[in-house]
Amino acid sequence: MWHAALAVVSATGAGLAACAPVPATSSAAASAFAAVETLPAGELAALMAAGDVVVIDVRTPAEFAESRLPGALNAPLGTFDPASIPIEAERETILYCGSSRRSGIAATALSEYLGTTVRHLEGGIQAWNDAGLETISGTPAQ
């Protein structure tokens, strides 16, 4: 997918440069469309209950096994590849981590890759636990 890049030639608006194709995954095109937002635990819980989201945990496999959101998939930040994240037309992909620092980094990378807004859990699993919401533990079946 290609997006056109348009540049103003002069401050007076006297002329415009010709449009040139820029790959959607380039930083120039992606930054024009990319954004990262947070959502609170209660909103994520409602989306999960409705089956409207794919939840991605970007913590380490050990943290993931210790405690995670039900149905979450693990894509650790240390090896995070935006191209490997499942994107579905019908469901939004939401990221989370322990506190929202790592998920913010991953959300930025995914947003730039997709050229669209990506949301992550505000406060991470810590906020989820503080809200008294369910977590599960153990190594998931392969």
Cβ-based neighbours of 109, under 8 Å, separated by 6 or more: 80, 82
Give yes or no: 19 in active site.
no
Which residue in 97, 118, 125, 127 is the catalytic one? 97
First to last CA, the chain: 34
Compute, in degrees rounded to 10, the torsion defined by CA atoms 134, 96, 24, 86.
-40
Phi, psi angles (nearest 5°) of residue 38: -105, 160
| Residues with a known catalytic role | 97
